Structure 1
Amino acid sequence: MSSSTITTTDEPVAASAPPLPAAASLPAVAAPKARRARWRPSILLVLMLGFGGLTAAAAGTLTFIGYDLAKRNTYELIALVSRSSASERLTAFHAAFDPAENAVRYLGGAIGRDELDPQNPRIASIMEGIVAAAPQLGFVAFVQPDLTLVGAGRVLSGLQTSRHNVQGWPELRLILREGESENGIVWHGAIYVPTLHDSFFIASWPVNRDQHYLGMVIAGVPLTALSGASTPGLAPGTVDFVLRGKGEVLAHPSLLGGTRGLSAEHPIPSTGDIGDPVLEAFENGGTSPLPAAQAFADLFGATVSVESGRYIVLYQSVTGYDSVPWRVGRYFPEAQATVVLNRLTYAILAGIIVLAVTLLFAFGLARIMSRGIGRLASAAHRIARLDFEGAQALPGSMLAELDRAANAFNAMRAGLLWFNLYVPRALVSRLMRAGDTKGLTPVDRELTVMFTDIVGFSSIGQRLTPPRLAAFLNRHFGMLAEAIEAEHGTVDKYIGDSVMAFWGAPADDPDHALHACRAALAIALKVKTDNDRRRRKKLNPVRLRIGVNTGMAVAGNIGAPGRVNYTLIGDAVNTAQRIEQAGHEVDDGSDTIILVSAATAAKLPPEIERHVVGAHVLKGMSGEHVLFRLILRE
C-alpha cells in the first residue's frame, strides 16, 4: 500500500448519502441453478391420502360392494393358488421328463457318432448307470431295425440289463418304423411295457449314421412318477390330479403305491379304477359352473356334488408330452372357501372401525410432520442460497427425529453465520455449482490476478479514529467487491487497504483477462462517481491504483489441515502486486490508475482501450516488463 499523503479529511461515518453495503454483508451470489419447477404434493396431502385415503378406499370398497364381491375375490384367490400349484406340478413334470430326453439325446448322439457300439456289452452298463442316476427313469434301451433290444430298467428286485428280441411288442414296432422318417425327440404317450408290468411315457430318438438308419433309442418315465410330483402337505379333502382325454387318470394320490390291472389295451387307469367319486362325477358331467374361474383365460372351474358334500374343481389344460391335452388340477371342499368368506365379513366390520381411528390419527400426525419438515425445508432452501441471515432458527418438535433435526440445523446455522463472515460467498457458490472437489486440489493453471491499493492511505489512517477507519474501509471494500463479483471474480483477501482478487478459478473461465479488466474499469467508474459525490460535499477524493496480470499460478486449497484457504501462489500473483505498485511511476493525478501486463493486454478485444506506458523494471523481479494502461471512457 502507498505511503504518500493526502491533505484532506475524510467523510464522517454518518454521511447523509446512503452508504454502500459493508463487505461482510454483500448480497449473496446466486445459488446453483434449480431444477425445473413442477408440482409436487405436500407431506400433509401424501400422509392423508396414504393413511386415510387408502384405508377409506379399501374399507369403503369392502363395505359398499359387499359380500358378493368378497365371495368372488375369494374364489379367484383360490383359483390363483390352484393355478400356482398346477404350475409347480408342471415344473415337477418337466423335471421327471427331462432326464428321459437327456438320456435319448446323449445315447443317440454317441451311437450316431460311433462313440458307442450297440454290440459292445459296455453299452448296457452305461444305460444301467443312466437309469441309476435318474430315479424318474423306468428304463433306457436301444432297438435295432430287427427288433433286437439292449437296455436297462427298474424291476422289483432292482436294476436289470438285458438284450433280447421284442417281436411281441407291437407298439415298439410302430415306434421303430415311424422313426425312419422322424428327427429329434418324439414323445409317444402312455405305452404298456409287458416285461416291466407298468405303463410308461416313452421318448424316442432316431439314430442315423451316414444316412443309414441304425435304430431307435428309447427311454420310459413310469406313470407313477407323475403322482409323485403332487404338492405335499395339502389341507384335508384337497386332492391334486392330472387327467388325460376322457376319464383317464395320469396322476392321483391313489397311484403312489403303484398301478394294477393295466395292459396294452388299457395302459392308463380310469376315474372308476381309482375309486374317486369326485373325479368320476366331474368326468360324467355332474357339475355346475363356477363364475369366479371365468376371470382366468387358461383356468377352468366347476362345482361337483357328491354324497360327502360339494367340491370345487379347478384345472388347467396343458400340452407337450402327448398328442392328447392333459388337465392338471385340484379339487377341495367348498367349505374351505366359506371359512375365508366369514373372515372377510369380520374384516369388513373391523375395517370400518379402524378407518375412523386411522383418519383422525393420520390427520394429526400429518399436521405435526408437515409443519416441522416444511419449516426445515424452507430454512434449508435459504441456506442453499447462502442466505444465512434469512434462515431463521427452528423451534423444537414433539417428534424425536424432527427435534434432533431442528437442533442440528440451528447449530449449523449458528456456525454458518460465523463462516459467512470469513469465506467469500462467490467462491463457495462456484464450488457448489461445480458439484465435486476436483477444483479444490492445488493445480497450476492460467488465470488473471488483480491488486488494488488506496493512494495515501497512511495519512487517512492517521487522521481517522479506528471505528471511522473501519467504516471507511468496509464501504470501500464493499464497492470494489460488488464490481469484482459482477464480473465473475473472487475476492481472495483484504490486505490492509488492498484487495486481491482473481479470475479463472475454481471454475474455468476462458475470458478471465477480459472479465478482470472489465471489473477494473467498473471499479474506476465507481470511484469516479463516488469522488464526484465527495467533491460536492467538499471532501477530498479517494484515489486508487490497480494492477492486473495474467499468467500461470497454483490455485487450490493451501494451508494446514485445520486451517485451509482457497488461494493462489506463484509469480503471476507477485507480478500483479508489483504492477499495482508501479502505478506511482505513471501517476498523473487521476482518480484511478489501471496498469495491466502485456500478457493481459494481449487477451483483450479492441474495444478495451489501452496504451503502452513503456517497459518497467518491477521491484524484486528480473528483467523489464512492458505495461499498458487501461483508459476509462464514460
Structure 2
Amino acid sequence: MPRRPVARDIVLALEGRPIHKLRWTNAATINMSDLEPKRISSSRDNARLGLMPTLLLSMGLLVLVSVGSILALNWITGRSVVQEFATRLIARGLTIQEMALRRHLDAAVDQATFIATAVGDGHYLFSDPGLGDFVSGTIAAAPQIGGFILADPNGNALRVVRGKTNTEFRLDRLDITSDRQLAEVADEIRTRKDPYWGPPVYREATQAASLNYRVPIWKRDLYVGFLAVAVSTRALSKLSTELSDPPRLVAFMLYGQDRVLAHPFTVDGDRRQSEDTPLLMLRTSGDRVIANFSSLPPLDEAGIAPPVGILARQHTVDGERYFVFAREISGYSDLPITIGFYVLARAVDAPLRLFYWASIIALAMFGVSLIATALMAGAITGPIRRAARGAAAIGTFDFDKVAPLARSRIREINGLAQSFNAMLDGLRAFGRYVPRTLVTRLVKEGRVGAGTEERKLAIMFTDIVGFTAACESMTAGEVAEFINQHLALVAACVEQEGGTIDKFIGDAVMAFWGAPGRVDNPAASACRAATAIQQAIAADNEQRIATGLEPVRIRIGVHIGNVIVGDIGAPNRINYTIVGDAVNATQRLESLGKVIDPDAESITLISREVFEMLPDGFRCISRGTHLVKGKHEGLDVYQLVDRPKDVARNTV
C-alpha cells in the first residue's frame, strides 16, 4: 500500500526543510500503518546519543571536510566547468531562437495548408460570403501571420490583413491582374504543384517586407487558385528584439549571409527597402559588429568550443570584443535562413571571474563557519526537541494536543516553526481537502488498494464556452472567484445524482457514474445531473444579467462505455480515475456543441448508447451522425433537452 504523505512531511520538518503546503495524493493512498505510535517510540528508544554533542561533532567535521574538499575540487575543475557551461549556453541560446523562428514559420504553413485544403475540397467557394470569416477565424490563432491573399484562376482575390490587434482584420476583394507584383506572383504559383516559400517581398502599400508561403490549389489536374500567407519581417525583428539584451547580447536573422532578415535595428522597417531591395544588405545595416559577417575571423577563445554546426567568430568594435555565434536553419529548403547572436566577451567570461572571487570569500568564511557552528548548535537543539515532541503527538493523531511552535530569530528555525505549524493546520483541516465522498465509497465497496477493473460507466464532460476570452477582462482574483463559483455549482449537481468527480480541468469538469459504487442506470443519473446543471446555469445567468454581468454558456457531453477504473498513477501518487476510449468519445461529444449550436446558453449532447438507456421522462432531439477526431466511425448524437415529469420520452 502506498505510503501516507503525512509521515514524510513530519520527517522534512524535523530535518529543518521548509514545507510550504501539504499535498495529499488521494485518501485511497494513505497507509495508516506508517504513523503507528510503536514505530515512533521504537526509534526514540534506540537513540543513544544526545542531540547537542552529536550536532557539534557532526557539523564541525562536516564543515571541515566538505568545505575544504569543495575548495580543493573547485580549484582543479572549476575553470573547465564554467567554460563548459558557457559553451552549452551558446547552444541553448541558438536553440531557443530556432524554436521561436520555427513556431512563426510553421504556424503560417499549418494555417495555409488548412485553408487551402478547405477550399480545394469544396467546403468553401471563392464567392462564398462566409469565406472571409472562415479564414479570419483560422489565422486569428496565429498572430505570426500578417495577412494573406486567396485568389481564383481568373485573378479575383480575397485579401485579409491583420489590424493593430490579433482580433482585428481588414478584408477586401481585388483583381490581382491590376497589380503587377501580385500578378507576377500568381503567374509563378500557377506553374507549381506543391506549396513553397517564395523570396521576400516588399509592398509599397504597407511599406513592409515579408516572407510568404505560397500554396497552389488543385482539384486533381484542375488549377482552382492559390493562397499566399505573409509573415512580416517586422514581426521577426520583434522576435529578435525580445531575445536580445543590448549591448550585452543582440540576436539577429540573416537571409543567406549578406542580407538582414530580422534585427532589433529593423523592428520599425527602413526607408531604404523597396520592391527591388526588400531586405537590407548586411554591410549597410548599421550594425558594425556583423557588418562583415562572412569575413570575420574565427573564434579562438580557449575553453569555448561550440557544438558541431555552429559558426563561431569574433570581432572588436571601439575596443570592445564580441563573440558571434550563428547557425543555418534546415527544413525550409526555399529559405536560406541563418540565425545568430553576438555577445560581449566580458559577459561570457564573467562567471569565471565570479568563481575566483567566490573562492576567496569561501576561504575567509571557512574559519568563521567553524566558530559559528558551536553557537548555532545550541540555538538549534531547543526548537528541534520541541518539534520532536510535537511530532510524537502527531504520530498518535492527537492533533488538538499539539501546541504550535514559537517563532525564532533564526531564519531556518523560524521556517521550521512556520512549516510545522502549517502542517498542523493542514492536518486539522484534513476533512476539507480529502474527498470524503470518494473515500467513503471506496471503503464501503472494499476498493481501497484493490487496483483496477473494467466497468461500464457513464461519463460526463462540461466546459464553459469562451472562457479564455471572458477572463481577459477579469483580474486574477475575479477569475478565481468565477471558477470556484462555477465548479461548486456543477459539482453540487453531479454529487446530488451520485456521480464521482474525477477532476477539475481549469473551468471544465470530468465526472462519472457507476464506480466505485454500482448504479442501476448510470446513464440516467448522468443525464439527470446534466439537466440539473443546465437549470442551475439558467438560474445563475438570470442573477448575472441582473447585476450587469455576461451570462455563462456551457457545453456538456455524456457517453457510456467500458473503461478501466481504479488506482492509476505513480507509486507515490495514486488517483482513483478512469481511462479508456469512452473518455475521449465523451470529450469529443462535448466539443461538438460548438458545431451543433454554438450560440446556445447550454447544450447537452449524448450518444446513442446513452439515449437507448434513458427511461421515460427525458426529451431528446436527434442531431444526426457526426465524425469526431480519433474515431473512424461516426457517433449518433442526440441533444438532451429536458426531463419533464410524467412525460414519456420522445425523439424529434
TM-score with structure 2 length normalisation? 0.43
TM-score with structure 1 length normalisation? 0.44
**Structure possessing the higher radius of gyration over alpha carbons:** 1
